[in-house]
Amino acid sequence: MLKQNLQFKLSQKLSPQQIQLMKLIQLPTQAFEQRLKQELEENPALEGGKEDIENDYDADLDNSDDEYNDSETIGNDDINVDEYLSDDEIPDYRTQANNYSSDDEEKTMPYAAGTSFTQYLISQLNTYRLNDEEREIAEFLVGSIDESGYIRRELSDIMDDLAFTQNVYTTEENIKKVLNIVHQLDPSGVGARNLQECLSIQLHRKEKTSDTELALNIIDNAFDQFTKKHYKKLLQKFDVSEIQLKAAISEIEHLNPKPGGSYSGNNRIVEHVVPDFAIKIVDGELELTLNGRNAPELHVSREYNNMLKGYKDTKDKSQSQKDAVIFIKQKLDSAKWFIEAIKQRQQTLFVTMSAIMHYQSEYFLTGDERNLKPMILKDIADEISMDVSTVSRVANSKYVDTPYGTKLVKEFFSESMKNDQGEDVSTKEIKKILETVIEEENKKKPLTDDTLATILKEKGYPIARRTVAKYREQLDLPVARLRKKI
């Protein structure tokens, strides 16, 4: 049985404009410039650059007759032409004072052209005498090398791929023979299948000395003990002194574990961070500025306004003219909203970063990370009366230029933990102290996580061993055994 009934309920929905505004807020400076460029291309009613309004402004004052005070609509569309002709005032963006940095000039960074890493390796193959089959195998092997310089595939898989994709039927022995030629290419160690082989290739190409011979022996015959830093076992196995072992390990430490990364002409585009904010200390006070590239000069096209004026002056209005005016209205609406959205974006960015700067003023004045206060997104959201998601959008993708380097804004946020005095301290402060303790430890006898926990407790930070282990891993510091040095 079907029933009909009415139900009232309240629900929150975001308008398309609100969604676009949130997306604009999330964009960092470079991405924002691309979005701005896209909008200028798509909307002819929106123009960038400084508007030449001096002469037009005087003319508009002369032409502001009484006829422009009458409202006129088009058909049933309720298009108020006068609403779009109210350009007899100087746009407010021309009169407002903005706290922007003097970074208005276009700054582009050219990229140097060059050969790719693969092309660089193939060009070296031309110096070797290879038959047709060997050349095809060699080029296939070079094409299988990743950015780090390794071939991370089994020879049997490569043999199958050569047969199916290149129509080259060969054996693993032939592939290994050609692989040995690839191992002779520069940079040294390229084409290795694992770290042990990579280090071994580099040591084989070094000048033979007692230190390199011992280093090669360690890599080829005791790689597992070396990686686990079982130095006593190495001393016994090779019957050498501690000084000799130390010299051999020094040779190994100077090798390149990622030979592919040493090639500078691999055409990899480097992302350059453009700070969205700048914080300076002026007369002992903090001064915040927003990158000038976030404050473009935009205005509504005067040509589109003139089209509306022409329409208003026309007595007999055709349907095509009415359709054109509807199109013009849509474009003008879009242009005006976009300008307003950019103003809101600028205000949101500045207000949010200003609240963060004042909250962490002690850090920005000293540069000491131990002065970072515990701060979560809600702290700033409550301070500026905005939603947590808005603060998150600002923090996750924006950079600030400080006297101590360019920092990601989200780095200033951290959880709190109580010290032995019952005071809330930032987890970043504890991590900094932990890092300092590990840096100053005796590397012959590195401190275990239990010992580190005891030291931190003595310094007034009672945290458990597992928490120490978590912070150590977040700092990308290995366990005590792997920090050991001879």
Mean pLDDT of all residues belonging to the chain: 77
Confidence of residue 74 (pLDDT cuts 50, 70, 90): very low
Q: Which long-range contacts (CB under 8 A, 24 or more apart) does 66-75 make?
A: 68/312, 72/312, 74/317, 74/322, 74/325, 74/326, 75/322
Confidence of residue 358 (pLDDT cuts 50, 70, 90): very high
The average pLDDT across 393-407 equals 88
**Structural domains in the chain?**
15-50+271-298+329-413 (no CATH), 117-262 (no CATH), 417-486 (1.10.10.60)
Among 20-29, 190-199, 225-234, the least confident range: 20-29
Count Cβ atoms below 10 Å from residue 189 Cβ, excluding itself: 27
What confidence tens digit (pLDDT) does each residue in 92-102 have?
544 454 555 55
CB distance 331 to 304 below 8 Å: yes
Count Cβ atoms below 10 Å from residue 231 Cβ, excluding itself: 18
The average pLDDT across 395-413 equals 88
The yes-or-no verdict on residue 387 having pLDDT over 80 is yes
What confidence tens digit (pLDDT) does each residue in 174-201 have?
888 988 988 988 888 888 989 999 999 9
Q: Is 350 left (phi over 0), alpha (psi -120 to 50) or beta?
A: alpha
| 220 vs 211: CA distance, rounded Å | 14
pTM of the predicted model as reported, rounded to 2 decimal places: 0.54
C-alpha 288, offset from chain centre: 22
The yes-or-no verdict on residue 279 having pLDDT over 90 is yes
> 344 CB contacts (<8 Å, ≥6 apart)?
21
pLDDT of res. 447: 85
| 307 vs 313: CA distance, rounded Å | 10
The average pLDDT across 156-168 equals 85
DSSP summary character for residue 293:
G
The average pLDDT across 206-221 equals 88
| 425 vs 416: CA distance, rounded Å | 5
The average pLDDT across 440-455 equals 86
pLDDT of res. 58: 40
Sheet with 285-290, edge to edge strand ranges: 285-290, 277-282, 399-402, 405-408
% of the chain exceeding 70 in pLDDT: 77
Rg, the chain, Cα only? 34
Count Cβ atoms below 10 Å from residue 108 Cβ, excluding itself: 5
